[in-house]
Chains A and B, each alone.
Chain A
Amino acid sequence: AQTVTQSQPEMSVQEAETVTLSCTYDTSESDYYLFWYKQPPSRQMILVIRQEAYKQQNATENRFSVNFQKAAKSFSLKISDSQLGDAAMYFCAYRGGYNNNDMRFGAGTRLTVKP
């Protein structure tokens, strides 16, 4: 079974600085999809960014970008120019390309943004 590991339970960043959240995964599939979700305190879980494994180009969404290393099975999230509103739990998730009913989540990283 696929597993997703987030090795940083907590991270902290100064406002306007850059922070990178780590995620590794284990799979035997060659085709799959990776996601980063954000869950602010007491608020809805929302998608931050999505990456298709067959695409070599790293996905970007404004201040959010990923470093996707397929061979290393690594999928880190970089947040540039951090804002107070970025404070949240961030979950890395994996979805197989063949058994697409199964989304696997990591344990999450709590990001604190210091003013």
Chain B
Amino acid sequence: EADIYQTPRYLVIGTGKKITLECSQTMGHDKMYWYQQDPGMELHLIHYSYGVNSTEKGDLSSESTVSRIRTEHFPLTLESARPSHTSQYLCASNSDGLGETQYFGPGTRLLVL
């Protein structure tokens, strides 16, 4: 299995709370990604990073924000959670280079009440 970790695995939280989803990888990958995926549905890219201090928004508009202060760490933050944020969030990474395989974390299932 790939060395990419996400915490928490499951989170149930009330509307209006601030949450941070953690993602870490020990492979030294420069490139990291956040996807949003409703169960059994397609993946939507919401954020990506080429390296430290580099972050970009993905195809799907998201109210979340990300930061990349360390190579191995790419947290995602929701300042004020809403029921529409209920979903699964997948973190992924890959090394620099042509056609590199993306490695995925186990995901965080978020339920906002």
Q: Which residues of A contact B (CB under 8 A)?
A: 31-33, 35, 37, 43-47, 50, 52, 89, 91, 93, 95, 97, 100-101, 103, 105-108, 110
Contact = CB atoms under 8 A, between A and B. Distances in A.
A100 B97 contact: yes
Interface in B5-58: 31, 33, 40-43, 45, 48, 50
A75 to B, nearest CB: 14
Contacts of B98: 31, 33, 97, 100
Given A43-B106, A44-B107, A89 B40 contact: yes
Contacts of A44: 1-2, 104-107
Contacts of A100: 97-100
A105 B100 contact: no
- A-B interface, 6 closest residue pairs, ranked by CB to CB distance from nearest: A33-B99, A45-B104, A107-B42, A44-B106, A105-B43, A47-B101
12 contacts: A35-B102, A44-B2, A46-B104, A89-B40, A91-B42, A93-B102, A97-B98, A100-B97, A101-B31, A101-B48, A105-B42, A107-B42
Interface residues of B, number: 24
Most buried by B among A43, A52, A91, A95: A95
Given A44-B106, A50-B101, A106 B1 contact: no
Label chain A's interface by main secondary structure.
strand
A60 to B, nearest CB: 16
A35 B92 CA distance: 15
B99 A97 contact: yes
